[in-house]
Amino acid sequence: MKNKFFTTFLFSGLLFSGVVAQNAFNCNSHEQYQKQMQQDASFKKNQEQLEQETKALIANMAMAKPAAAAPYIIPVVFHVIYTTAYGNISDAQIIDQVAILNKEFNRQQADTLLTPSAFLPVAGKFNVEFRLATLDPNGNCTNGINRVYSTLSNCSVNENDVKAVSYWPSNMYLNIWLTQSMHYSNSTDCGGGGYATFPGGAATNDGINIRGDLIGNIGTAATNSGWGNFKGRYLIHELGHWFNLRHIWGDAICGNDQVADTPPAVSSNSSCPVFPRNPFNSCGSGASGEMFTNYMDYTNGPCLNMFTAGQVTRMTAALSSSISGRNNLWSTSNLNATGTNNPYTYPVACASEPDVLPLTPIIACVDDSVLITDNSYGGSVSSRVWNFGNAGASSLSNGAVKVKYSAPGVYSFTLTNNYLSSSKTRVFSNKVYILPNVTSASYVVPFTDSFEDVNAYLNDWTVVDRDNDAVSWEITASTAYTDFNSIYIANFDNRAPTVDEIISPPYNLSAVENPTLTFMLHSARRTTTDNDQLQVFISNNCGATWNSIYFKSGSALKTILANQASSYTPAVTSADWRLEKINIQPFMATGIVHFKFAFTGGGGNNIFIDDINLDGINTTGLKSIQAPALLRVFPNPANNYLNVKWSAHSKAGGDIDVVDVLGRSCLQIKNGSALMKENTTVIDIAGLENGVYFINLRQNGQVLSTTKFVKQSAE
């Protein structure tokens, strides 16, 4: 186990190497290994057993597979977990990575010439071949590349959570999960590059997590200026761990990597040193110094080019062992089951994997035309069949179709792709969310919803689970600010950063001035580093577009001071709750609107909302007893002075109030009894900052009219 001094030393070295070369390793495999050894008794037992098997193999090399024998064939699946096109790397980039693996493990790459002559006698070839699977766990045709949209691709709080998004049996396939960014549980940032599991742990975690832009030598790996180009060797390093290799410095000052022919090293090396590196070091390296060209060091990609014969023996022992099913991977029966047996043909003629655009859930209103496009991958299509149930569709066979739904609700559909003799069908569960576009008589302003009517909640509110997982907004009777019920997300058990949304029923604000949205909030943190986020949006086009009207995260979101290490539920009507108020007027919400509460889990505790209130001045009654006021401003945009003109049929006193986009009053004009028919006044706005403002015309304390103007500097 690394001591405190070494940890500081190593991190300092990494920071230094980041200055001289951006592509410094940030491997987390040893930290994962240490955590498992301390917390998982079965993993520790399996590791001890594997070490005994490895020692036996070393003692009796006759047990090892002869070098001239057929290679160990490893079936591989790449799970591409992404949210943007950058993360959804190409098939070609993945195929390039596989080609690199097969060359370099067998020591067939051109730059073996760069291996220092002193290290050549111990350089080893590992007779292994990685093959992309052509049959999936269900026996269906595949190209060994599985693409899944998920927000967990971006800095998942628990680095293992992404594995549950897509997993194939690890005793049949080497699972490699590609993400867009990576957070390590022992870190405070998202600067992780990758890590591997050592043999002996839980099957569902077995494999390698790595950033997609560190894969291969082309595509995003070649243009990744932030990390530099590892030439596909970052994955080789992680595969070394998966084959039970330690770092060459043994993860301690002068540590033991359990391999006899790797010279002892003080610690990790960075950049690309000149031979000899650190000769006659304090660990006893000898004249040749440290083996900085070894894949299990931290030097730059172009500098790495070798495993030793001793490392090859350890990797052979891992593949020969039943620990984690490594010995089943290359068995004849498994090669047949995964489509990687000889003669191996890649790619095979498959029907493509069904997928659609948009990637995110589709939100629309009743009778809106929803466009859905075929975005299938990994094969070919000779014909396709859509099934939208009772919804009306423009076509059931075209690549792009328009669909209309006649009733509110959450809808699923299927897409079937056919090619030659193969066919693939995918169900897109809870993909389309159709909102009502007519205001219910029950939802008029002022309105309060404390979620006591469970049926109203189920019928009128729409829960959007963007990651289609088990955790989302739901009603609960466990606590409330008032009465008995509230809505909440069981975020303590949530994977992060998953996004969950809840959309309100429609409200008609066309006859409401100064609308205000308030709600009672409870949110707790687990640690000072978690970063839960809550955002509120408004839409006046039935979810086609949304405008943000509220955002809080981290410490600003929490409503109680102390962190809560266990799942936390606030007491009823307690100080754990806080009133949140949103002035909607600056966002000029008119007509029929929906509100959306969007929560992004950041590793914190549970979140609760109660008593959602929508209030304002209903102008319907005012307009029935007096004529409306017409408010106009000119010029618009204005520089130093603004003319304000109105027609008002009441001789009562009134005011003009100028507010900014945050609803803050910036300027007030008190007109007393001066409001007469066709009044005009001039306002000095030279002191206002450039930007958008709103003018409210008030009479008897009521806002009669509002208009917008732009303040800009004179040219």
Active site residues: 238
Distances (CA, A) of 151 to 167, 375, 384, 707: 17, 19, 28, 40
Which two tokens mark 140? 């269906």
Q: Where are the alpha helices (DSSP H) in 558-632?
A: 620-625
Cβ burial 583-596 (10 Å sphere, 16+ → b, else e): bbbbbebeebbbbb
Cβ neighbors of 462 (< 8 A, separation 6 or more) are 408, 410, 433, 435, 502, 503
Closest C-alpha among 576, 568, 482, 472 to residue 521: 576
Residues 214/234, Cβ–Cβ less than 8 Å: yes
Question: Crossing angle of helices 41-59/309-320, nearest 10°?
Answer: 120
- Token couple for 541: 């086009």
Question: ∠ CA(612), CA(616), CA(617), 5° rounding?
Answer: 155
- Max alpha carbon distance in the chain (Å)? 108
Q: Which two tokens stand for residue 335?
A: 């090669």
Task: Evaluate whether 436 touches 505 at the Cβ level (below 8 Å).
Answer: yes
Structure tokens at 322: 């039943």
Please tell me whether the peptide bond between 354 and the residue prior to it is cis, using omega within 30 degrees of 0. Answer: no
Per-residue 3-state assignment (H helix, E strand, C coil) for 476-536: ECCCCCCCCCEEEECHHHCCCCCEEEEECCCEECCCEEEEEEEEEEEECCCCCCCCCEEEE
Q: Could you give the CA distance from residue 158 to residue 162 in angstroms, rounded to a whole number? A: 8
